[in-house]
Amino acid sequence: MPSATQNEINGKDAVKLVENGCIAIGEGANMPTTPEGVKVFLEAGIAYGPGKAANAGGVATSALEMQQNASRDSWNHEYTEQRLRLIMKNIHQLCYETAEEYGTPGNYVNGANIAGFIKVANAMVAMGLI
């Protein structure tokens, strides 16, 4: 679970991980794996959760905190966890379904990238920017 800095795992590192039996990578940072490393993971067919999806919990938690503060409310731990769990399940489902829809089933990199692009594009259209 690379989670410190950008470009922690390069292609050579990824090959070594796969050769040593790594079955899953869940990124906990922004872009900790180089594009070459990502390619190795995808070609090896291991479970790969790109940072923009797998690391979304931190961003979502910050948003929940801001929402709580803006409403001058105080949520208990269980309520916050319940909301975060739903957010993360929805992110997973969206990445999975988008990858399927665009012809790359199981590819969470494509699913996250395409879903993110569509979300931004729809917002730009709604705002009249394009």
CA–CA distance, 11 with 19 (Å, rounded to integer) = 12
Instruction: Share the mean pLDDT of the chain.
Output: 93
**What does the pLDDT look like over 5-25, one tens digit per residue?**
888 999 999 999 999 999 999
When pLDDT is averaged across residues 68-84 and rounded to a whole number, the result is 92
Structural domains of the chain ordered from first start = 11-126 (3.40.50.720)
Per residue, what are the HEC states of 20-40? CCCCEEECCCCCCECHHHHHH
> 33: which strand partners?
9
